[in-house]
Amino acid sequence: MDVARANRTAVERMMSARPMLRTVATAGEVIPGMHDRLLLHAGPPIEWERMSGPLRGAVIGAVLFEGWAEDEEEAARLAESGEVEFAPCHHHGAVGPMAGVISPSMAVYVVENVTHGNRSFSTLNEGYGKVLRYGAYSSEVLDRLRWLNDVMAPVLREALSDSEGLDIRALLAEALHMGDEGHNRNKAGSLLLLKLLAPLVARVAPDPKVAAAVLGFIGENALSVLNPVMAACKAMADAAHGVEGSTIVTAMARNGTDFGIRVSGIGDRWFTAPAGTPKGLYFSGFSSADANPDIGDSTITETAGIGGFAMAAAPAIVAFVSGVPSDATNATLEMYEITVAEHEHFTIPALDFRGTPTGIDIRAVVELGITPRINTGIAHREAGIGQVGAGLVRPPAEIFEEALLAFAENRGI
Amino acid sequence: MDVARANRTAVERMMSARPMLRTVATAGEVIPGMHDRLLLHAGPPIEWERMSGPLRGAVIGAVLFEGWAEDEEEAARLAESGEVEFAPCHHHGAVGPMAGVISPSMAVYVVENVTHGNRSFSTLNEGYGKVLRYGAYSSEVLDRLRWLNDVMAPVLREALSDSEGLDIRALLAEALHMGDEGHNRNKAGSLLLLKLLAPLVARVAPDPKVAAAVLGFIGENALSVLNPVMAACKAMADAAHGVEGSTIVTAMARNGTDFGIRVSGIGDRWFTAPAGTPKGLYFSGFSSADANPDIGDSTITETAGIGGFAMAAAPAIVAFVSGVPSDATNATLEMYEITVAEHEHFTIPALDFRGTPTGIDIRAVVELGITPRINTGIAHREAGIGQVGAGLVRPPAEIFEEALLAFAENRGI
């Protein structure tokens, strides 16, 4: 098959995927291959020795959450001992923001692409401040995780059982008309999620206080929808994976040390290089000296044609990631250069309802020397601290070159 | 006082007004001067004989809702008889979208400008389809009004009693960063209202089904926030009224027959002329031949610096009112020509966070020949039908000329 046709097939599969949020369940019950001593993490494969501070912090927190250790030191020893297995979320149909750690007992959203039948998973978003995904693991962090698991998750599960599932692609399409880009800015999407859930939650919650607490948490957290959106993007990207002859990127992910990509027509191989450090705006008291290299699976949003690629839809985001509104527009315009399609469902009003740039072609990235634009949060480089800012970053160019070389070799060129 | 200084005072009062949604109450209890046989309506004063179809329809519906008549014919005879008194909402601190009819038993939002102490009122938004504000009065319409009054209003009243009041200025500021302009597009604002109300409603509703019904109604109605927003704009505009020597417009309103304005430094006099007919997009099966002339108090939004004046914040609105996104930007840019300030709280990300054009100066309108831009819904010209489209309109130029003449006469110029 010629490459252009293969890419058309891949991107059409990506755009026709229709991810529905079906339920909330326990990771160990629903994630294929999840087992008792397995921790999933963001990005390409990595072992404890090479893990950055925030990923180590999240691992420690997950070990404590599971009750595998009594304290931080014991948790770190266990993680180092080899008795805990590590694997990328991406190897198990899952994605996680920032450190992206998923442990067997954690509640996860279950998203199903009803067009092609594949499923994907992500945890419940923890909100702001000291949170596991940024490498914090204090008792406050663990208490919130327990509340999410023991209080919110059962209510959401019951609420979703009363629905046909929530159409996350439709939700995203609407959010892009309301100033979101779907990665770092999810204010509108989170409120659209609240709108869909509020009557269901009010009906099924065990008592009015729990209903109020759950609706308050979802409504106040402008990232509530990020995790289901990431799972939806994973479901869309996975639908485009494995098309023979296609040079479309189907995963971009960072573990805090390495940035990795996968390509539709090159199987499950990762192409990796050291992750860069985002440039952006820092919270009061922090500076770029505190920043960890780029981390998280949230680049699945850019992979699916939103996030940094849809910044023109979200001019207000520059107050958060730096720059002026025309930078946001230019980011999107540049991404049309390295993508093969304009999204059929995701459109940008300010660009006369043009579809978002979708389907990154590694050939175009290499040929033009333009790497993808990514919006991202910035984690402190030490374990146990948390978020220090938000900004913009690009993947290392060499991984696209290596992928293209491998693609050519596979095809005997 | 010189006019420029007076205008600065007026617009600063308008911008520093901080309207808080305090409670929901019965019109007869809280609206000053409301009495047993009084119906308030949108726009400047008008009697039954000159009322257009949709206003007559809404009057008939309100008479039936109050139980003053048994059927449509009896209601029309009563309205014609002189036994029902009519007065503009604006004469009683109130505002109403489209026909804007408020009867003594109807539940109303109570908004208080905590900076200057004045209060304002508006009904609960009925949603879409056959609704009183567009002149429909079938049993479906009256049943919904009864549900709003008997079920939703008590819950909202109880919910708001648990809060300090909802800051509608802050809500609007955020909604303008989420693709709303606050008049015809209130998707984000309505979800922000839902966010604030959801935990309160879940806590106080008499049972889970009522909580679910109320949250479902607010969430599904993308105009839920329009009425509290209009009351908030009324509270802001009233704060700017009565500044001696000021040529700032403090009310623009239409009753479906006449378009009227009031000016800060000219007291309570209305300057009126026949209302124009909006140009826009029609629902399937309708055309401009079905359109009633411009109607409603919702132009209080443009008076306060949002709505048509903030269209650059809402490029997606053109799918609803006609045009392309650059028209929306140009609408806002043009309005800077006839206003005296850029809003301190309402900013537009796409215009580098420039404040919205605020404080219409009748001198500039006359001198430049640029009349205000208005976004609006379009009502069928016959009673009993409803909305047929949405579009754009401008007030008649002569009312600004007459107002300026009166202003000059008052000052002995």
Instruction: Name which of A297, A199, A232, A196 is nearest A21 in CA terms.
Output: A232
DSSP type of residue B285: T
Distance from CA of B199 to the nearest CA of A (A): 4
Instruction: Name which of A225, A221, A178, A226 is nearest A346 in CA terms.
Output: A178
Cα–Cα distance for residue pair B195/B202, rounded to 1 Å? 11
Choose the closest CB to B199 out of A180, A215, A316. Answer: A215
Chain segment A323-369, per-residue pLDDT in tens: 999 999 999 999 999 999 999 999 999 999 999 999 999 999 999 99
DSSP type of residue A372: P
DSSP string, A301-349: HHHTT-GGGGGGG-GGGHHHHSS-HHHHHHHHHHHGGGEEEEEEEEEEG
Cα–Cα distance for residue pair B271/B260, rounded to 1 Å? 5
User: Are the beta carbons of B208 and A213 separated by less than 8 Å?
Assistant: no
Which residues on A lie below 8 Å from B191 (Cβ)?
A: 188, 191-192, 194-195
Which residues on B lie below 8 Å from A192 (Cβ)?
A: 191
Cα–Cα distance for residue pair A294/B95, rounded to 1 Å? 52
- pLDDT, residue A161, reads 95
Contacting residues for B197 by C-beta, under 8 A, at least 6 apart: B156, B159, B166, B215, B218
For chain B, list the domains and their CATH numbers. Answer: 20-230 (3.90.1710.10), 240-410 (3.90.1700.10)
Which residues on A lie below 8 Å from B349 (Cβ)?
A: 179, 315-316, 318-319, 325
- pLDDT, residue A322, reads 87
Q: Please say whether the beta carbons of A123 and A106 come within 8 A.
A: yes
Which residues on A lie below 8 Å from B324 (Cβ)?
A: 352
User: Are the beta carbons of A349 and B316 separated by less than 8 Å?
Assistant: yes
The answer to whether the Cα torsion of A308, A311, A312, A318 is positive or negative is negative
Identify the burial level of A357 via C-beta atoms within 10 angstroms of its C-beta, where 0-12 means exposed, 13-18 middle and 19 or more buried: buried
Q: Which amino acid is at A410?
A: N
Instruction: Name which of B362, B133, B95, B136 is nearest B229 in CA terms.
Output: B95
Which ipTM did the prediction report?
0.95
Instruction: Name which of A3, A50, A12, A110 is nearest A254 in CA terms.
Output: A50
Backbone angles phi, psi at B41, to 5 degrees: -140, 165
- pLDDT, residue A412, reads 86
Contacting residues for B371 by C-beta, under 8 A, at least 6 apart: B338, B365, B394, B395, B396, B397, B400
Cα–Cα distance for residue pair A344/A16, rounded to 1 Å? 8
Identify the burial level of A285 via C-beta atoms within 10 angstroms of its C-beta, where 0-12 means exposed, 13-18 middle and 19 or more buried: exposed
Distance from CA of A297 to the nearest CA of B (A): 26
User: Are the beta carbons of B216 and A198 separated by less than 8 Å?
Assistant: yes
Tokens standing for residue A207:
């008592």
pLDDT classification of A320: cutoffs 50, 70, 90: confident
For an interface test with A, the pick among B176, B181, B203, B224 (most A C-beta atoms closer than 10 Å) comes out as B203
Contacting residues for A64 by C-beta, under 8 A, at least 6 apart: A71, A72, A75, A137, A142
- Please name the residue that has the structure tokens 């175009």: A364
For an interface test with B, the pick among A185, A214, A215, A352 (most B C-beta atoms closer than 10 Å) comes out as A215
Instruction: Name which of B43, B68, B123 is nearest B379 in CA terms.
Output: B43
pLDDT classification of A260: cutoffs 50, 70, 90: very high
Model's pTM, two decimal places?
0.97
Q: Please say whether the beta carbons of A328 and A312 come within 8 A.
A: yes
- B 192-211 residues with CB below 8 A of A? 192, 194-196, 198-205, 208-209, 211
pLDDT classification of A163: cutoffs 50, 70, 90: confident
- pLDDT, residue A1, reads 59
Tokens standing for residue A240:
């485009």
Q: Find the residue in B nearest to A351 (Cα).
A: B325
pLDDT tens digits, chain B, 413 residues: what are they?
599 999 999 999 999 999 999 999 999 999 999 999 999 999 999 999 999 999 999 999 999 999 999 999 999 999 999 999 999 999 999 999 999 999 999 999 999 999 999 999 999 999 998 999 999 999 999 999 999 999 999 999 999 998 889 999 999 999 999 999 999 999 999 999 999 999 999 999 999 999 999 999 999 999 999 999 999 999 999 999 999 999 999 999 999 999 999 999 999 999 999 999 999 999 999 999 999 999 999 999 999 999 999 999 999 999 888 899 999 999 999 999 999 999 999 999 999 999 999 999 999 999 999 999 999 999 999 998 989 999 999 999 999 999 999 999 998 87
CB distance from B242 to chain A under 8 Å? no
Angle of the B187-204 helix axis to the A208-220 helix axis, nearest 10: 160
Identify the burial level of A354 via C-beta atoms within 10 angstroms of its C-beta, where 0-12 means exposed, 13-18 middle and 19 or more buried: middle
| Beta strand pairing call for B354-360 and B295-296 | unpaired
- pLDDT, residue A129, reads 85
Three-state DSSP at A94 gives: strand
| Beta strand pairing call for A354-360 and A258-263 | unpaired
Three-state DSSP at A376 gives: strand
Three-state DSSP at B52 gives: coil
Distance from CA of B345 to the nearest CA of A (A): 14
Chain segment A47-71, per-residue pLDDT in tens: 999 999 999 999 999 999 999 999 9
Contacting residues for B318 by C-beta, under 8 A, at least 6 apart: A349, B324, B325, B327, B328
Q: Please say whether the beta carbons of A172 and A346 come within 8 A.
A: yes
Three-state DSSP at A404 gives: helix
Cα–Cα distance for residue pair A141/A120, rounded to 1 Å? 25
β-sheet bridge partners, residue A295? A255
Q: How many Cβ pairs within 8 Å bridge chains A and B?
A: 123
Chain segment A204-245, per-residue pLDDT in tens: 999 999 999 999 999 999 999 999 999 999 999 999 999 999
- pLDDT, residue A360, reads 98
CB distance from A220 to chain B under 8 Å? yes
A356: left (phi over 0), alpha (psi -120 to 50) or beta: beta
CA dihedral A125, A128, A133, A136 (to 10 degrees): -140
Q: Helix H segments across B176-251? A: 187-204, 208-220, 226-239
- Exposure letters B159-183 (e unless 16+ CB within 10 A, then b): bbeeeebbbbbebbbbbbbbbbbbb
Tokens standing for residue A283:
């919270």
Tell me how far CA of residue B241 lies from CA of A301, B1, B41, B96, B162, in angstroms: 50, 15, 20, 19, 32
- Rg of the Cα trace of chain B? 20
CB distance from A178 to chain B under 8 Å? yes
- pLDDT, residue A346, reads 98
CA dihedral B166, B168, B174, B175 (to 10 degrees): 120
Q: Which amino acid is at B33?
A: G
Choose the closest CB to A179 out of B179, B199, B351. Answer: B179
Distance from CA of B152 to the nearest CA of A (A): 14
β-sheet bridge partners, residue B354? B348
- pLDDT, residue B1, reads 59
- pLDDT, residue B163, reads 87
Tokens standing for residue A146:
């327990």
Q: Helix H segments across A53-110? A: 53-66, 72-81
Cα–Cα distance for residue pair A207/B13, rounded to 1 Å? 45
- A 119-138 residues with CB below 8 A of B? none
For residue A192, pLDDT beyond 90: yes
